[in-house]
Amino acid sequence: MLNKNKKDWGAYLYLMPVIVILFVFHVLPIFMSLGVSFYEWDLIGKPEFVGAGNYTRLFDDPMFWKSIWNTIYYAALSIPLTIFLSMGIAILLNNPIKGLGFYRTAYFIPVVTSINAVAIVWNFIYHPEIGLLNKVIGWFGISPVAWLQDPNWAMPAIILMSVWKGLGNNIIIFLTGLQNIPKHLYEAARIDGANRWQQFVHITWPMLSPTTFFIFTMSVIGSFQVFSQVYMMTPRGGPLKSTMVVVYYLYRKAFDQFEFGYALAMAFVLFLIIFACTLFNKLYVEKKVHYS
Amino acid sequence: MLFHFSKSPSNNNKIIHLEYVPVHILLILGAFFMLFPFVWMISASFKSNQEIIKSPTDKIVLLPDSIRPSFLNDESDKKRIKEQKEIDDAWYATPEDKRDPRKKPFEWWDNYKNALKAQPFYRFFLNTLFVSITVTAVSLFFASLAAYAFAFFKFPGQNAVFLMILGTMMLPQQALLIPNYIMLSKMHWINTYLALTVPWLASAYAVFFLRQFFMQLPKDLFEAAIIDGCSRFGFYWRVALPLCKPSLVTMGVFSFLSNWNAFVWPLIVTNDTNLRVIQVGLSYFSSDAGNEWGQLMAASTMTILPLVIMYFFAQKQFVESSATSGMKE
Amino acid sequence: MGFKIGNHRITGMDAFLIIVFIFWVLITYQIFWADTGDSKSQSQANTNGKTEIVFWHAMGGPLGEAMDKLINEYNNDPNSKCYVKTINMGGYDTLQKKLLASLIADEAPDVAQCFETLTKKFIKHEKIVCIDDLINADIEKAKSENKPIEDIRNDIIPALRINNTFAGKLYSFPFNKSVQVLYYNKDMFKEVGLDPEKPPRTFNELRAYCQTIVDYYKSKGIEGKYGYGCAKSNNWSFLNRIKANKGYIVKRDNDGILKCGFNEKAAIDSLSFLQDMLKDGLAKEGQAFDHQNEFIAGKCGIIESSVTSKIYMNPDFRMGMAPVPGIEDETLPGGVYRSTILSGTNICIFKNVDSKKIEGAWDFIKWFTNTENGVKWSIGTTYMPVRVSSVNSGLMKAEMQKDPNLNAIYGYLDNLAFEPRITAWFEIRDLIADYLERCTLEHKDPKSYCAEMQKDIDGMLKHVTDTDDNKELGNVDM
Q: Please indicate if any CB of chain B lies within 8 Å of the CB of C34.
A: no
Whether A164 sits inside 8 A of B34 (CB atoms) is yes
A24 band by pLDDT with thresholds 50, 70 and 90: very high
DSSP B14-83: TSBPGGGHHHHHHHHHHHHHHHHHHHHHHHHHTS-HHHHHT--SSS---S-TTT--GGG--HHHHHHHHH
Pick from B22-36, B58-72, B73-87 the range whose average pLDDT is largest.
B22-36
Contact criterion met (CB below 8 Å) for A263 and A269 = no
Tens digit of each residue's pLDDT (9 = 90 or more) over B1-45: 333 333 333 444 545 567 788 888 999 999 988 998 888 888 888
Nearest to B327 by CA among B244, B248, B211, B235: B244
C3 band by pLDDT with thresholds 50, 70 and 90: very low
C8 band by pLDDT with thresholds 50, 70 and 90: low
* Domain locations in chain B as residue ranges: 9-114, 119-284
All residues at 6 or more sequence positions from A249 whose CB lies less than 8 Å from its CB, including other chains: A63, A64, A67, A237, A266
Q: What is the mean pLDDT of chain A?
A: 90
Tens digit of each residue's pLDDT (9 = 90 or more) over B277-289: 988 888 888 776 6
pLDDT at residue B82 in the model:
79
A83: exposed, middle or buried (C-beta count within 10 Å: 0-12, 13-18, 19+)? middle
Chain A: nearest CA to B169, how far in angstroms? 7
Percentage helix, strand, coil, to 5, in chain A? 75, 0, 25
Whether A44 sits inside 8 A of C93 (CB atoms) is no
Q: Please indicate if any CB of chain A lies within 8 Å of the CB of B54.
A: no
- Whole-number Å distance between alpha carbons of B152 and B145: 11
For the ranges A126-135, B89-98, C425-434, the lowest mean pLDDT is seen at B89-98
- Helix residue ranges, H only, C10-115: 12-29, 36-47, 61-76, 92-104
Q: Rounded mean pLDDT of B97-105?
A: 58
3-class SS of residue B187: coil
3-class SS of residue B289: coil
DSSP C18-46: HHHHHHHHHHHHIIIIIIHHHHHHHHHHH
From residue A74, alpha-carbon distances to A22, A122, B215 in Å are 29, 18, 31
Nearest to B193 by CA among C40, C90, C28: C28
- Whole-number Å distance between alpha carbons of A32 and A39: 11
Tens digit of each residue's pLDDT (9 = 90 or more) over A45-100: 889 999 999 999 999 999 999 999 999 999 999 999 999 999 999 999 888 888 88
Mutate to test the interface with C, among A145, A149, A240, A253 (most CBs of C within 10 A): A149
pLDDT at residue C1 in the model:
34
Chain A residues whose CB is inside 8 A of the B158 CB are 11
Q: Please indicate if any CB of chain C lies within 8 Å of the CB of A272.
A: no
Tens digit of each residue's pLDDT (9 = 90 or more) over B222-265: 889 988 888 989 999 988 998 888 888 889 988 998 999 888 89
Residue C476, CB half-sphere, CA atoms under 13 Å: how many?
22
- Whole-number Å distance between alpha carbons of A165 and A85: 13
pLDDT at residue C4 in the model:
44
Give the Cβ contact number of residue A130 at 10 Å.
22
Helix C12-29 and helix B121-152, axial crossing angle in degrees, nearest 10: 130
In Å, how far from its chain's centre is CA C98?
19
DSSP B122-136: HHHHHHHHHHHHHHH
Chain A: nearest CA to C426, how far in angstroms? 6
Contact criterion met (CB below 8 Å) for C250 and C476 = yes
Chain B residues whose CB is inside 8 A of the A185 CB are none
**What are the φ/ψ torsions at residue C233 (nearest 5 degrees)?**
35, 60
Nearest to A263 by CA among C14, B174, C198, B28: B174
pLDDT at residue C478 in the model:
45
- Whole-number Å distance between alpha carbons of B152 and B148: 6
Whether C312 sits inside 8 A of B291 (CB atoms) is yes
- Whole-number Å distance between alpha carbons of C194 and C209: 8
pLDDT at residue C316 in the model:
79
| Domain B119-284 indexed as CATH 3.40.30.10 | no
Tens digit of each residue's pLDDT (9 = 90 or more) over A102-148: 898 899 889 888 887 888 889 888 988 778 888 888 888 888 898 99
Percentage of residues in chain B having pLDDT higher than 70: 84
* Domain locations in chain A as residue ranges: 23-103+167-288
C148, C152, C156, C160 alpha-carbon torsion, rounded to 10°: -160
**DSSP β-ladder status, C319-323 and C82-88:** unpaired
Whether B103 sits inside 8 A of C91 (CB atoms) is no
Tens digit of each residue's pLDDT (9 = 90 or more) over C395-404: 888 888 888 8
Mutate to test the interface with A, among C103, C114, C120, C287 (most CBs of A within 10 A): C287
- Minimal Cβ distance to B153: which of A3, A32, A124: A3
Whether B15 sits inside 8 A of A98 (CB atoms) is yes
pTM: 0.89
- The DSSP element (H or E) to which B202 belongs, if any, is none
**What are the φ/ψ torsions at residue B224 (nearest 5 degrees)?**
-60, -45
In chain A, positions 229-268, which contact chain B (CB-CB < 8 Å)? 247, 250-251, 254, 260, 263-264, 267-268
Whether B317 sits inside 8 A of C293 (CB atoms) is no
Nearest to C273 by CA among C206, C200, C201: C206
pLDDT at residue C35 in the model:
56
- Minimal Cβ distance to B180: which of A29, A124, A292: A29
Chain B: nearest CA to C314, how far in angstroms? 5
All residues at 6 or more sequence positions from B15 whose CB lies less than 8 Å from its CB, including other chains: A98, B4, B5, B6, B9
Chain B residues whose CB is inside 8 A of the C94 CB are 264, 267-268
Whether A98 sits inside 8 A of B2 (CB atoms) is yes
Q: Please indicate if any CB of chain C lies within 8 Å of the CB of B248.
A: no
| Domain A23-103+167-288 indexed as CATH 3.50.50.60 | no
Mutate to test the interface with A, among B178, B264, B316 (most CBs of A within 10 A): B178
ipTM of the complex: 0.89
Q: What is the mean pLDDT of chain B?
A: 81
Whether A257 sits inside 8 A of C434 (CB atoms) is no
**DSSP β-ladder status, C319-323 and C300-306:** unpaired
DSSP C228-269: EEEETT-HHHHHHHHHHTT--SEEE-TTS-EEE-TTSHHHHH
Pick from A249-253, B45-49, B103-107 the range whose average pLDDT is largest.
A249-253
Interface partners of B (3+ CB pairs, < 8 Å)? A, C
Instruction: Fill in the amino acid letter for C83.
Output: Y
Pick from B1-5, B314-318, C21-25 the range whose average pLDDT is largest.
C21-25
Tens digit of each residue's pLDDT (9 = 90 or more) over C224-268: 899 999 988 888 999 999 999 999 898 888 777 888 889 999 999
Residue B96: is its pLDDT beyond 70?
no
**Strand runs labelled E in C381-462:** 416-418
Residue A154: is its pLDDT beyond 90?
yes
Over the range B32-51, which residues count as b (16 or more CB within 10 Å of their CB) and which as e?
A: ebbbbbbebbbbbbbbbbbb
Please name each of the domains of chain C with its CATH number. Answer: 50-177+345-410 (3.40.190.10), 180-342+416-472 (3.40.190.10)
Chain C: nearest CA to A44, how far in angstroms? 7
